[in-house]
Amino acid sequence: MERDFQPLEGVRVVEMTHMIMGPSCGMFLGMLGAEVIKVEPPEGDKTRNLTGMGRPFFPLFNRGKKSVQLDLKSDSGRKALDALLATADVFIDNFRDASLARMGADPNELRRQYPRLVLASHKGFLSGPYQDRTALDEVVQMMTGLAYMTGPTGRPLRVGSSANDIMGGLFGALSVVAALMERKETGKGRSLRIGLFENCLLLVAQHMVQFELEGVNPPPMPERTFSWPVYDIFDTADGKQMFVGAVTESQWAALCRLLELDDLLADPALQTRMDQINARDRTIPVVAAAISMRLSAELSENFEALGIPYSPIAKPSDMYSDPHVMRPGGLAASRMPDGQTFRAPSLPVDVDGMMMNAAGDVPALGADTTSVLSALGLDAEAIGKARGTVRNAA
């Protein structure tokens, strides 16, 4: 590319968020070139100190942002926030409206005071009967039927990532970009509400519409009626597992020839895709036995050459040795405040044939407080009062 893809350069985003949904919205906007200023309390965002599966939350979803430390319980902190919002194009939050009001960021007041500001509020639910309920990713997966569809009957199971939180942030970013485009014509901002529940509802829409059109409540995915001749997980000779698919007649024929299943290939009752689907009860055990006699590396090489869909059953950590993930530009490197580095995906988009692999570093708590607030005209004393009692002065 002649220059970095930064279409949102010059857009200032002020973010008051925690956990994943709101921070991911800011991260996406930052990856597209926006200046994202994360407002943190004197003690810092609570996710900075999480451990276990929560350990990546802050560093991963706050890459490339600036950190401004404000005590929003004080008049000085709220005045500094007002001064900051007066320069902003976008305000992102994922707190309850009552909590925002206590912090000096009441959405209705912001709409009145800053008519050009785009407000993006990430909530559990959109407006309606559930709008005041507390929601989590796992809660909405249970509510919408996604957990029902993921696990076997009687064992609803959440999907293995914070999929709704991340997608909710993505819908937030998409809506913000659309509102900014509209503002160029109207000169006015918008109040956007992004719902975690409604995001999950979209994920199960295919199953809802099957019921709507056919009157059939689909079974959980582990027990689904297959639409393909082969679409299963198999054990290989070296004790590994591999997903293999054959979804067309040509793929079925290629798979049978590779596995030397000439009887299946010649069987007059298996000459069409529907024949092959209807005979799965007797053909899949035969395919499984043949695959169990082959090594996974050999199978991978042959499947690749024949264009047969396949994949080893990988762990997330395996991605750091995957040749496609680790190709030049495949991951973006970020630095933590303590100097530790980590590699993680950027936006999954090629721009003019090149990956967007610059995600930015993780800000230290309050690292940008002085530079941002002094540019607004606050002196050292006012900045000290606005940020409250702190351990790490910027």
DSSP character string of 219-239: PPGGGPPPSSSEEEEEE-TTS
> Would residue 318 show up in a list of annotated catalytic residues for this protein?
no
Question: Residue 297 corresponds to which tokens in the numbers above?
Answer: 């590396």
| CA–centroid distance for 163 within its chain | 6
Reduce the DSSP state of residue 204 to 3 states and report it: coil
Q: How far apart are CA 23 and CA 60, in angstroms?
A: 9
Q: How far apart are CA 356 and CA 236, in angstroms?
A: 37
Residues 6+ apart with CB under 8 A from 82: 104, 113
As to burial, measured by CB atoms within 10 angstroms (0-12 exposed, 13-18 middle, 19+ buried), residue 127 is exposed
CA angle 219, 224, 230 (to 5 degrees): 180
Catalytic residue among 71, 165, 350, 352: 165
| CA–centroid distance for 202 within its chain | 14
Question: DSSP strand E in 154-295: where?
Answer: 191-195, 230-235, 241-246
Greatest distance between any 2 Cα atoms in the chain: 87
The β-bridge relationship of strands 191-195 and 118-123 is parallel
Cβ atoms of 87 and 12 closer than 8 Å? yes
**Residue count (the chain):** 394
Residues 6+ apart with CB under 8 A from 196: 21, 122, 123, 124, 125, 135, 136, 137, 140, 164, 165, 168
Beta bridge partners of 343: 333
Cβ atoms of 365 and 44 closer than 8 Å? yes
Q: How far apart are CA 53 and CA 268, in angstroms?
A: 53
- The residues assigned a catalytic role are 165
